[in-house]
Structure 1
Amino acid sequence: MSQPQAKFLKDYQAPDFHISHINLDFSLAGKETKIVATSKVKRQGQHKAPLILVGDDIVLQALLINGSPASYTERTGELVIDTELDEFELQISSSLDPEANTSLEGLYMSDGAYCTQCEAEGFRRITYFLDRPDVLAIYTVRITADKQAFPYLLSNGNLIETGELDGGLHFAQWHDPFPKPAYLFALVAGDFDLLEDEFTTCSNRKVKLQVYVDKGNLHKAHHAMASLKKSMAWDESRFNLEYDLDVYMIVAVDFFNMGAMENKGLNVFNTKFVLADKDSATDDDYHGIESVVGHEYFHNWTGNRVTCRDWFQLSLKEGLTVFRDQEFSSDLGSRAVNRIHAIKVMKNQQFAEDSGPMAHPIRPESVIEMNNFYTVTVYNKGAEVIRMMHTLLGETSFQKGMALYFERHDGQAVTCDDFVAAMQDASGVDLTQFKRWYSQAGTPQVDVTEEFNSQTSTYTLTLGQSIPATPDGSAKLPLHIPFDIELIDNDGQSIVNKVLDFTEAKQVFEFKGLTQKPVASLLQDFSAPVKLCFDYSVEQLVHIMRYASSEVAKWEASVALFSQSVWQNVERLQAQQAMFIDPRIIDAFKGVLLAEDLDKALMAEILTMPSAGSLIEQTQAVDLDNLALAREFVVGEIACQCEDELAATVRALTGVDDAATRSLKNIGLYLLVKVDNSYSSLASEQFDQASNMTDSLAALTALNAEPSAMREQLMTQFEQKWLKTPLVMDKWFALHATLNHTCCIDTLKSLFEHEAFSFNNPNRVRSLIGVFAAMNTFEFHRKDGAGYQFLADAIIKLNTLNPQVAARIITPLIQFKKFDQQRQSLMISQLKRILQVDGLSKDLYEKVTKALA
């Protein structure tokens, strides 16, 4: 078998042909669904090259040019059509089997409904086409199906005609007036419950809003509908962007590889990000739905009306839209807590990606399988780059840049450079150096030293930046880093609060007129996606926790205090010394519990101790066994010595019904169970009395530290109650996956036979296997390699079923370089085993070969 070949950004060429209009006629009939695609094709430029279309798993039945049979050549994945015509109508008749499509790309079945997923390259599994994002066409779609089985026939745009046909069939015809690339095409046919509402736009147009869910779930669709209306209003008020069609539809399906998809006017969502009521969804679920609904709606302009020229530009739409959905959540809720959530993703996941074999810039230079680049780098680091631009330009100039971007490029497929040019031209700010963020892989490290000269009353910060080498070999030149600082005096007063323009490899900043050495709160609000290296003392961190004007800085200081204590105890264990925790650290956390002016959700974030995975990302090489002991000790000591304050907090907050209060109460409960088994009864009591899923799940999580009779009893009760509710069973599977005990892997293997589990369903796979590999650090990295073998076995099985999911859950196995030689050897042996699999997908081939290289 020939090895998959990489594609390179530098090789981009405009298409030889353009398709301006396409009519799609679907006859949905199970294993032999028939499709007739009629396109208006025009040659671009002076050449005689053939028209080459791409297709996958399609049975070609007929091909006509201007109504007459035409000659063509079929080869693997391509259809080559020789024609001298410069402009013509092309009609392709074909068939396919949606029921056999377990990859969940193209047209497939989800619980008896027809569904599509075309991003990035799924449209080629529907018909032969120029399946690339820079070919924008006007789509008209006719769908015919059995009316009783499929009463709803949906596609992009506006509904223009429906009708009855003989034999119990019916049809619907849709027209989308806005040119779009093939990846935004969507079709859904099924029998659903429908929630309807409407929204009046700023220009007084009425837009029909529809949310389609599986039968029996209508009561769980109201939060998604409310989130949609909030999103539409926010985009008008913050970005002056109005919706442009007569209808906006969301369809929730259980079999879906992604979170959701922004297909023009017809968003297809994973049920996880639509269905919610307080009995079955947590506060985090509610927040996730609001965020993802907002994200997909905001794509209507940043991704749909203006789209990507090629897939290397993916961050053009995704990084920008993540920034927009983060701002949406921050404007509607706690800005500090939302920022903390974004920072955690960067530090725990994106930094790991940057230091691993799949490191790439937010605009990659090469890809083998595009699905592998739907990454935290492209999305979340891409959003941080947009945020830095916003910091440098300010809100007013940033909005001018957005307006100019849409004015120039509405209806076009463009590049990241086009976006930056609009920002630069609208603001007058030179972004030439800043653009390096798009082309350089890796996480910059900023080393900071300080000096105070009492004779000259001058405080000096010296900043140096560097980026470790990455596998892509990208050049490492100095970046433009907006570096936010606050200087705090001994009385807790802010004396300097500003953003430094850090542009050189080494740069000195002086602050004159200071009568005393200040405490510097550095990189406030994570103003740039860099690793900060500064030797904070305990006193400085406690001072920042107490006095920083930024709530995010208070949280960052708490993370640093906890982390320092863990690493110091790792060193003590290595030196065979007793572990110890500085009492000032205990006092700092007690102070949080006793504070009357802190937001409860922020308090909960501060008391949520960094995970093992987060700690691993702080070091170049990890002593995993001693890390496990040290982290457990520090968490336990903080919990034990804050026991009275924790118990008082939990008692005071029990029965209060709001999300922030629940978050603080539940982290308090979790820590109390760490203190003493006697608090397990408190968790059991909460489980029995819980009136919402947040409290039920928190009680189980608190008891999930180790196997016990109480845990088993409550887990069984939970299973029996929610057995027929898939999204809740995902939570039950995830609890099993995070049990840090030697019985974990055997339990997970037995759960493969559970009636609620299916390897064909991505949500089930992610909840059981993905959560284990990504979050159960110590069991996944068992010394005997059983965790690695468990994951590799699952990946090999998924290779033929759903390679996208397989490639996404393999990530912890390819990030092996920080571990000891024994573990590295075991991980590498499993990667080699995967590489030997016959018919290995491009998705897995790319990740495994890069890791082994």
Structure 2
Amino acid sequence: MSNKTPVTAKRRLDYQPPAYQIHDIELSFNLDDEVTKVKSLLHVFKQGDHDQPLKLDGENLTLIEVKLNGKSLQQYELTDEALTLSNLPDECFIEIYTEIDPASNKTLEGLYKASGSYCTQCEAEGFRKITYFLDRPDVLSKYTVTIYADKKRYPYLLSNGNKIDSGDLEDGKHWVKWQDPFFKPCYLFALVAGDFDKLTQSFTTSSGRKVALELYVDKGMAHRGEHALASLKKAMKWDEVVFDLEYDLDIYMVVAVDFFNMGAMENKGLNVFNSKYVLADSQTATDEDYFNIESVIAHEYFHNWTGNRVTCRDWFQLSLKEGLTVFRDQQFSADMGSPVVNRIKNVKVIREHQFAEDASAMAHPIRPDEVIEMNNFYTVTVYDKGAEVIRMLHTLLTPAGFKRGIDLYFKRHDGQAVTCDDFVNAMQDANSINLDQFKVWYEQSGTPELTVEQDFAADTGTLTLTIQQHTPVTLDQSQKKPLYIPVRVEYLANDGSSTTDIIHLTQSQQKLVRDGFDVEPTVALLGDFSAPVKVIRTLSAESLLTIALHSNDGFSRWDAAQTIYSQFIHSLTPNGSTLAITQETITALLDGLLESAMEDQALLAEMITLPSVETLVQQVPKYYVESLHSAREKLERIIISHAQPMFEKQYHGLAFTNYDYTPSQTATRKLRNQLLMYIASTEQGEELVTQQFMQSDNMTDTLGALKAAQHAKCKCFDKLMSQFEETWRADPIVLDKWFALHASRQSEDILSRLDLLMGHQQFNHENPNRVRSVIGSFAFFNSTGFHAKDGSGYRYIGQYLQKLDKINPQVASRIVTPLTQWQKLDEERIVKMKAELVRLLDNKDLSNDVYEKVSKSLGYQ
């Protein structure tokens, strides 16, 4: 039994508009190492005729004084969570003087100081740690901010909007005043103060306005910011071309900081980024890092319209901005590189992580109904499944129809805080289509399953597909409704030709009848992953091979290859398999792929990569840890035994060239490093791995060699890792790769290794990146170590989380996730995992963040 007092959940249906609005806020900050003084001046208006008090949110604040219309106010109610003022006039000015201690704020929410700089993170409810305010997204205000600080130590004082004034003071301090002309919620407020290297460029908008672009990075890192700035300019241009959306301020600033809970934050005009999503050069960043920087830079920029200009009415509507913006950054990334490989990347996130969330106690719709801690809303369901729902609208309405809907959405709601229904209604009204059933995607949790039967009448050439949709019961919902699901279908003929359809699935069962076939076609379903669903059907090995080798849809080809691998692996476990794929099927697939001279090297790399353990687990009712890993390793040995000569020939045929981040070079490196993953297990492997590591001129090939050595358990692994650490020990962002490789290594002494890693001079328990690279890598990606049969992996994570929760509840809440996903394990492991959850819950000081996940998991049946 938990010692923690039960926490009341917040519910979407309890939403009430604010009783007051704050049209303007003037903030001043006197930044000081001992005590930071904050003054806020609020211009408050009563909403309607009422006599309700004004309850301002506040946490960890020292209240000094409150004034009403310039006069000191003595009558108020103060608690640990709020400042309440009663008997206010219809319009008034409220001044609030508070003191805070940013240096001791280790949660990295609100205003905090780390690595010598001041920084803010206010989403979702961090602004209440800065000053008393209506900390909710539907209170939109115009901000004027003045910052005072020591000029030598903090030469850059930044906030939202445009800089309107500045000056020096006699005591060595200086001040800067910023004004944001746009109404915004307080979660978009930002302040940064520090000493940085600054990169400056400009962008000329389609209407001819010149926008200053400024990037602030740690001293000595300026050369590693060029890619981020180039990515920003690409994103700004793309948004103008594709959506006619132009940037609206005179300046756009990005600041990179190493201590940050999230990837980045879209604060209006002043984006704050985790350094790992800004800093890159060929020596320190992989192709994946380059891709992620380009994607995240674009994502935060796109929020300027989808999130800032139009924001959420309440946090239950989070997917309104995040799902939509993830879809937009995915479209951008597809246009910048390989559309099919980008799509595969998106689908892996859904299948490995979102499907797992749907199958756990934390299952929830993309617009949740209730929550204890708002920070727990930031999930793969809200973000990535939310993006898939937007993508389905894009498919159903066509790109032109989707653009009409976006245009109407901004015309109606610019400058407002709105709901997911408002977005869908704009899409509906702009295209004269009824989307009432489609809205069920926003309210229903779980992963839909499509059961497909195929019948062919040879005498008439008629093909009939019967599709049933079913969404399994989830903890939060026992009743499920039929969804509106677009299913992309491809019919492959024997001569290699194909035709496509989109089935608009709206009923529990539907039939699709198509005539005119001379012989029964091979049918590929869910092309381009047209909906976030699971497809249950029986396809012959011959049909799967036909799709994998001949489909015109790159995703379908990859998916068919993955199905072949998956079914073979599952056939060797107690789960069995609906179709026993033979070893001959595997070799036929490899021969077809490697001998076809595929032009898309990146797609070939994906097609010869085995499904991850995380994906495999979501395909079966039970996760038999030892047998699944053994079966996957057996398939790997079969592949290497058959294809080694072809792998080596391909590897040596891929030229090493001077590094450039281009689609063609990225694809070559991707294929080469996947080939090396296989070759590393052969007699020549040790030599090739070492050779690539020693001769590499870029981090992609360096890390590719290390990953291959780790996976193949090469003798050279420890030696190469020591060289890597010696080279990069002063660069913590690069060293995170070293931490993660060690933490995900399969070894019997992995827990002792984790202890050694956390004793490294660069490891810091207060830095989310360091914690994620070690503890997160172990919990999420070292499945044999985490799921050790004696429960030691669970105990290790549980004990560490008790300490981490006291430092940073947000990070602890994310890392606890693997401990809550016990549902598919064997009974012995379930007992051990639940025991750790009980230990966590039996902690009266447990944060709401962790309490919510743990208590829900233990309540799951």
TM-score of the aligned structures, taking structure 2 as reference length: 0.97
Give the corresponding residue for 1:565. Answer: 568
Residues 1:537 and 2:540 are matched in the alignment: yes
Which is further off, 836-845 or 146-155?
836-845
Residue 492 of structure 1 contacts residue 543 of structure 1 at CA under 8 Å; is this kept in 2? no
Distance in 2 separating the partners of 1:756 and 1:589? 43
Give the corresponding residue for 1:823. Answer: 829
Give the corresponding residue for 1:482. Answer: 486
Give the corresponding residue for 1:670. Answer: 677
Which of the numbers 553, 556, 576 marks the counterpart of 2:556?
553
Which of the numbers 29, 34, 39 marks the counterpart of 1:36?
39
CA 1:370–1:677 in structure 2 vs 1: closer, same or farther (change >3 Å)? Answer: farther
Give the corresponding residue for 1:590. Answer: 591
Q: State the shift of 1:572 in Å.
A: 9.8
Give the corresponding residue for 1:281. Answer: 285
Which is further off, 605-614 or 698-707?
698-707
Distance in 2 separating the partners of 1:360 and 1:245? 37
Distance in 2 separating the partners of 1:484 and 1:580? 25
Q: State the shift of 1:628 in Å.
A: 1.1
Q: Report the count of equivalent residues.
A: 847
Q: State the shift of 1:725 in Å.
A: 0.6
Which is further off, 40-49 or 224-233?
40-49
Could you list the per-position Cα deviations for residues 628-679 of structure 1 after superposition, in whole angstroms to 9, with x for gaps in the alignment? 11000001211221001100011011414511100000000011113x2431
Distance in 2 separating the partners of 1:706 and 1:463? 43
Which of the numbers 689, 700, 710 marks the counterpart of 2:695?
689
Match of 1:603, as an amino acid? L
Match of 1:497, as an amino acid? T
Q: State the shift of 1:311 in Å.
A: 0.1
Distance in 2 separating the partners of 1:416 and 1:107? 30
Residues 1:55 and 2:77 are matched in the alignment: no
Distance in 2 separating the partners of 1:313 and 1:795? 29
Give the corresponding residue for 1:165. Answer: 169
Which of the numbers 778, 786, 794 marks the counterpart of 2:800?
794
Q: State the shift of 1:598 in Å.
A: 3.3
Distance in 2 separating the partners of 1:451 and 1:707? 48
Give the corresponding residue for 1:846. Answer: 852
Residues 1:363 and 2:367 are matched in the alignment: yes
Distance in 2 separating the partners of 1:695 and 1:47? 66
Query: What is the aligned-residue RMSD (CA, Å)?
Result: 1.2
SS at match of 1:24: strand
Give the corresponding residue for 1:618. Answer: 619
Residue 706 of structure 1 contacts residue 741 of structure 1 at CA under 8 Å; is this kept in 2? no
SS at match of 1:561: helix
Residue 493 of structure 1 contacts residue 547 of structure 1 at CA under 8 Å; is this kept in 2? no
Residues 1:213 and 2:217 are matched in the alignment: yes
Q: State the shift of 1:712 in Å.
A: 1.0
Q: What is the correspondence of 1:174-253 to structure 2 with a 5 Å cutoff?
A: 174-253=178-257
Q: What is the correspondence of 1:260-279 to structure 2 with a 5 Å cutoff?
A: 260-279=264-283
Residues 1:607 and 2:608 are matched in the alignment: yes
Residue 121 of structure 1 contacts residue 183 of structure 1 at CA under 8 Å; is this kept in 2? yes
Distance in 2 separating the partners of 1:813 and 1:404? 44
Which of the numbers 810, 815, 821 marks the counterpart of 1:809?
815
Which of the numbers 373, 378, 382 marks the counterpart of 1:374?
378
Residues 1:715 and 2:721 are matched in the alignment: yes
Residue 221 of structure 2 contacts residue 279 of structure 2 at CA under 8 Å; is this kept in 1? yes
Q: What is the correspondence of 1:10-409 to structure 2 with a 5 Å cutoff?
A: 10-70=13-73, 71-409=75-413
Could you list the per-position Cα deviations for residues 488-528 of structure 1 after superposition, in whole angstroms to 9, with x for gaps in the alignment? 1122211x301101100000110112111110001111100
Match of 2:401, as an amino acid? S
SS at match of 2:171: helix
Which of the numbers 500, 503, 507 marks the counterpart of 2:503?
500
Could you list the per-position Cα deviations for residues 15-56 of structure 1 after superposition, in whole angstroms to 9, with x for gaps in the alignment? 011000000000000230000000100111111011100101
CA 1:572–1:342 in structure 2 vs 1: closer, same or farther (change >3 Å)? Answer: closer
Residue 686 of structure 2 contacts residue 715 of structure 2 at CA under 8 Å; is this kept in 1? no
Q: Which has the higher contact order (CA 8 A, sep 6+)?
A: 2
Q: State the shift of 1:595 in Å.
A: 2.2
Q: State the shift of 1:84 in Å.
A: 3.5
Which of the numbers 3, 7, 11 marks the counterpart of 1:4?
7
Residue 441 of structure 1 contacts residue 474 of structure 1 at CA under 8 Å; is this kept in 2? no
Give the corresponding residue for 2:662. Answer: none
Distance in 2 separating the partners of 1:346 and 1:598? 27
Q: State the shift of 1:252 in Å.
A: 0.1
Match of 2:599, as an amino acid? L
Distance in 2 separating the partners of 1:822 and 1:581? 32
Which is further off, 355-364 or 599-608?
599-608
Give the corresponding residue for 1:835. Answer: 841
Which is further off, 714-723 or 700-709?
700-709
Distance in 1 separating the partners of 2:107 and 2:373? 14
Match of 2:13, as an amino acid? K
SS at match of 2:200: strand
Distance in 1 separating the partners of 2:581 and 2:684? 25
Q: State the shift of 1:61 in Å.
A: 0.3
Distance in 2 separating the partners of 1:580 and 1:474? 36
CA 1:572–1:357 in structure 2 vs 1: closer, same or farther (change >3 Å)? Answer: closer
Q: State the shift of 1:808 in Å.
A: 0.2
Give the corresponding residue for 1:462. Answer: 466
Distance in 2 separating the partners of 1:438 and 1:200? 38
Distance in 2 separating the partners of 1:75 and 1:298? 38
Residues 1:519 and 2:522 are matched in the alignment: yes
Distance in 1 separating the partners of 2:840 and 2:513? 55
SS at match of 1:30: coil
CA 1:18–1:744 in structure 2 vs 1: closer, same or farther (change >3 Å)? Answer: same
Give the corresponding residue for 1:701. Answer: 707
Which of the numbers 422, 431, 441 marks the counterpart of 2:426?
422
Distance in 2 separating the partners of 1:581 and 1:738? 31
Which is further off, 47-56 or 1-10?
1-10
Distance in 2 separating the partners of 1:809 and 1:340? 25
SS at match of 1:241: coil
Residue 573 of structure 1 contacts residue 626 of structure 1 at CA under 8 Å; is this kept in 2? no
Q: State the shift of 1:705 in Å.
A: 2.6
Could you list the per-position Cα deviations for residues 677-698 of structure 1 after superposition, in whole angstroms to 9, with x for gaps in the alignment? 4311100110000000000001
Distance in 2 separating the partners of 1:67 and 1:460? 77
Match of 1:149, as an amino acid? R
Residue 65 of structure 2 contacts residue 96 of structure 2 at CA under 8 Å; is this kept in 1? yes
Distance in 2 separating the partners of 1:339 and 1:850? 32
Q: State the shift of 1:839 in Å.
A: 0.8
Residue 440 of structure 1 contacts residue 474 of structure 1 at CA under 8 Å; is this kept in 2? no
Q: State the shift of 1:706 in Å.
A: 6.0
Distance in 2 separating the partners of 1:259 and 1:830? 29
Match of 1:622, as an amino acid? Y
CA 1:155–1:236 in structure 2 vs 1: closer, same or farther (change >3 Å)? Answer: same
Q: State the shift of 1:708 in Å.
A: 5.2
Distance in 1 separating the partners of 2:336 and 2:721? 35
Could you list the per-position Cα deviations for residues 357-378 of structure 1 after superposition, in whole angstroms to 9, with x for gaps in the alignment? 1000000000100111100000
Match of 1:744, as an amino acid? I
SS at match of 2:684: helix
Residue 734 of structure 1 contacts residue 768 of structure 1 at CA under 8 Å; is this kept in 2? yes
SS at match of 2:723: helix
* 5+ long unaligned stretches in structure 1: none
Residue 686 of structure 2 contacts residue 714 of structure 2 at CA under 8 Å; is this kept in 1? no
